[in-house]
Amino acid sequence: MPLDVKRIWDACGRAFDRFNSSSDSYSEIIERPAIEKLVGRIKGARVLDLGCGAGPYSIWFAECGAQVTGLDLSETMISLAAQKAEERGLRIDLQVADIREPLPFGNAEFDLVFTATALHYVEDLANLFREIGRVMKGSGRFVASVLHPMSTAYFPLPNGEDQREPHYFGELLRSIETPWLGYGEVPDEGRRIVCHHHTTAEYFNALVAAGLRATDLSEPEPPEEYASQNAARFEEAMRVPVYLIFKAEPTKAD
């Protein structure tokens, strides 16, 4: 199955953005508070957001006073991000680019390299992490949020029926019906998301191979108050963790 990520995201990006901005968005409820803790103070920092999508994090970083560059493969997503930045009067450098290719920057440019739920579209993590290490300053940090490997283990195999049993090892490629179909028109090519399932060890070993040292790891739970807002979604997020969030920095030479 060809992994035409650009075609999928160009087709389903607007619906994803509506879904992701809704009051039930796990991203707002579970992911963002955990990311805020790991990212720390970024006023004046140079920040790179890989797979920035419609820009929720790029915009937040810019509002915190960072100088932000966002890259995304999808023109739909970049134009949504640009529109939102303009509405808020923010200057963000937004570029259409494929993060599987060498990053279009010089060495040691960024204080923070960040990515949220985009690494599942990249097969060769070690190659990307090496590029991240290259563009990051020696004093910089890398913060990544990924769909938790326990969650992507439940994503169906490409040629199988939608399954109930998880597959943790073996098959890397997964294909799942777009969860945001109810959030607007989605043409056929955007109805299934095809992505890679990476195990926790793959993320960790790719950091090590790239000369990066993991310094924090978070598996955030939904806040208790969310149980009264949406009991079913709360239970779902308590059963299988939604996000794995980690922070890494360059390994210091002794």
Binding region for ligand SAM (CB under 6 A):
5, 9, 20, 27, 51-53, 56-57, 71-74, 77, 98-100, 116-118, 121-122
> What is the distance between the alpha carbons of residues 197 and 172, in angstroms, rounded to a whole number?
5
CB of 46 to ligand SAM, least distance (A): 18
Residue nearest to ligand SAM (CB): 53
Output 53 or 140, the one with its CB closest to ligand SAM. Answer: 53
Within the chain, residue ranges assigned H as helices are 5-20, 26, 32-39, 56-63, 75-87, 125-135, 149-152, 200-209, 226-229, 231-239
- Nearest CA-CA partner of 152 in 133, 134, 170, 125: 170
CB of 251 to ligand SAM, least distance (A): 26
CB-CB contact of 46 with 93 (8 Å): no
Which residues pair with residue 248 across a beta bridge?
142, 214
CB of 135 to ligand SAM, least distance (A): 15
Q: Is 64 left (phi over 0), alpha (psi -120 to 50) or beta?
A: alpha
Output 173 or 227, the one with its CB closest to ligand SAM. Answer: 173
CB of 254 to ligand SAM, least distance (A): 35
CB proximity list for 194: less than 8 A, separation 6 or greater: 1, 3, 4, 5, 8, 158, 173, 174, 175
Output 124 or 162, the one with its CB closest to ligand SAM. Answer: 124
> What is the distance between the alpha carbons of residues 30 and 227, in angstroms, rounded to a whole number?
12
Output 9 or 142, the one with its CB closest to ligand SAM. Answer: 9
Output 9 or 61, the one with its CB closest to ligand SAM. Answer: 9
Output 19 or 234, the one with its CB closest to ligand SAM. Answer: 19
CB of 248 to ligand SAM, least distance (A): 18
Return phi, psi of residue 39, to 5°.
-70, -40
CB of 138 to ligand SAM, least distance (A): 25
